[in-house]
Every structure is written in C-alpha cells, then in structure tokens.
Amino acid sequence: MSLTTSHSFSRPPPLLAFFGGTFDPIHFGHLKPVTSLAGQAGFDQVILLPNNVPPHRPQPEASSQQRLHMVELAVAGNPLFSVDSRELNVDTPSYTIETLATLRKEHGDDCPLAFIIGQDSLLTLHKWHRWGSLLDFCHLVVMARPGYQEQLDTPALQRWYDAHRVADAEKLKQKPAGFIYQANTPLLDISATEIRERRHAGLDCSDLLPSAVERYIESQGLYRE
Ligand SMILES: Nc1ncnc2c1ncn2[C@@H]1O[C@H](COP(=O)(O)OP(=O)(O)OP(=O)(O)O)[C@@H](O)[C@H]1O
Ligand SMILES: O=C(O)c1ccc[n+]([C@@H]2O[C@H](COP(=O)([O-])O)[C@@H](O)[C@H]2O)c1
C-alpha cells in the first residue's frame, strides 16, 4: 500500500521595503539607519528607488545616470539591498503614489509593502500628491533624523498619523498596507546638501559616504564647480 500525503507548506509573503530618494549623492545618513531598520523590522529586502524628477525640490546636480550609479556602488555585494530604476525612465515628476500603485499591481494584493522615509519627509507629507491614499498601497516607515522635530504641525497630518501608527514592527507583516511605524534608528547628522557644499568648498567627505561612491564622485568631478 502506498500512502501519498500532500502537505502544502505556505511561507508567509516577504516584507519588501522601498526607499525612495534623490540620492544626490547617497550617503551614510541613508544607509546606516536603513540597515538598522531592516534588522528591527525584519525586512527581507530593501529596494532603493532613485527618482528622476523629484517633485518638491530643486533639480539634482548629478544626472540621473550618475545618481543611479552611485546608488549601485553603495550597495554592491550587500544582499539586503537591490536597486529599482523605474522612476528614472520617466521624465515627469516621480510621484510616490503612482510608483506604489504599479508596485502593488506587480506584487499582488497580499504582499506587505513598506515605503521608508526620513522624519523631514514626514513633516511635509501633506504636500505630496494624493498623500491621504499612500497607505492604501503600503505601510509607511519613518526614520528619525537629527534636527527634525517629532511634532507634526499640520492637524490633518497629525490625525492621520495618530490613526494609523503602530508601536510594534511585527504588525507590518500582518497586513499588506495601512500602518505607520516610527522606527528607532541611529541618528546620523548627514545630508546630501552638506556633502555637495563640502565638495564645492574643496573639503573632504570621506566620513560621510562609502569610499566607492566617493571615488566615483571624484572621477566624475561631481559637485566641484
Ligand atoms: N541623515 C538622515 N537620516 C534619516 N533619514 C534621512 C537622512 N538623510 C536622508 N534621509 C531620508 O532619505 C530619503 C531620501 O533623502 P534625499 O535623497 O533627499 O537625501 P538628503 O540628504 O535629504 O538630500 P538633500 O540634502 O539634497 O535634500 C528622504 O526620505 C529623507 O528624509
Ligand atoms: O509623491 C510626491 O508628491 C512626493 C513628494 C516629495 C517626495 N516624494 C518622494 O519621497 C522620496 C524622498 O524625496 P527627496 O526629495 O527627499 O529625495 C522620493 O522617493 C521622492 O520621489 C514624493
């Protein structure tokens, strides 16, 4: 007699986190907190999403291809990270809600997706295109940033934040979208603006970004004129 038993072991879907930015250039203020966050929140992958046309800020100094190359160099050989260049293929402003809608279609309705932002981005989130619908597509994970207060000055934003905030990162795996998690990540007082300014002033930036990125910046003569 032969007994055939079929067991279906279904693994929980992975928790994917997207980290969008202008990355002009990428620096340790992006990489170190996000690496710590991935450990805390159990992210299976962090996908860096460089934009082409940032919606609410001056255009970047480095070209989109140079910024993409710097992002790739920064995470080369690190299995936690990958890079998604889709926003670079579009010449219109990179509205996050539109990218998230496409990502949701690709990953299906059940896969938990997170979008990572820094505290400065949270403070102005009510100016983002269709900001009130972002949580239909993803969770929002916020990293603290030195110099940026926790208090939200806009009542509608504060109400929305309070209604969706969860204290436990485990919750992010329990549904595909809809929560806000305020992460306790290391504080690094580094900005791309500071790096560009230091380069323009002929100052060293080696403590602020990966050496492969620094060498590329030097080889391209970026942020010097
Ligand atoms: N030091 C930092 N700590 C925490 N979050 C950060 C830090 N630097 C950038 N971020 C976050 O990373 C995302 C992408 O940032 P961005 O590429 O604009 O870097 P930036 O350093 O803020 O650039 P710039 O100085 O040119 O405005 C944003 O959500 C931002 O809030
Ligand atoms: O969708 C929007 O309206 C919107 C407005 C401002 C910023 N964003 C996104 O937020 C991320 C961080 O932006 P930035 O300007 O700090 O690099 C990046 O992915 C941007 O495309 C998105």
The model's pLDDT over 138-170, given as tens digits with 9 standing for 90+, comes to: 999 999 999 999 999 999 999 999 999 999 999
> What average pLDDT does the chain have?
93
Is there an atom of ligand 2 within 6 Å of 20 CB? yes
How far away, in angstroms, is 196 Cα from ligand 1 center?
13
Q: Which residues pair with 116 in a beta bridge?
A: 19, 141
Q: Is the CB of 95 under 6 A from ligand 2?
A: yes
Q: Provide the angle, in degrees to the nearest 10, between the axes of the packed helices 211-220 and 64-75.
A: 150
| pLDDT value for 8 | 52
pTM for the full model? 0.95
Cβ(94) to ligand 2 under 6 A?
A: yes
Q: What is the pLDDT of residue 75?
A: 98
Which of 156, 136, 208, 151 minimizes the C-alpha distance to 182? 151
Mutate to test the pocket of ligand 2, among 56, 103, 130, 134 (most ligand atoms within 8 A of CB): 56
The pLDDT value given to residue 53: 84
> Does the structure show a pLDDT above 60 at 5?
no
Instruction: Please give the structure tokens belonging to residue 183.
Output: 């992460």
Confidence of residue 109 (pLDDT cuts 50, 70, 90): very high
* Residue of minimum CA distance from atom 7 in ligand 2: 55
Residue 57: per-residue pLDDT: 84
Does any ligand 2 atom lie closer than 6 A to the CB of residue 25?
no
What is the tens place of the pLDDT at every residue in 9-56?
Answer: 667 778 999 999 999 999 999 999 999 999 999 998 999 999 998 888
Residue 77's contacts (CB-CB under 8 Å, 6 or more residues apart) are none
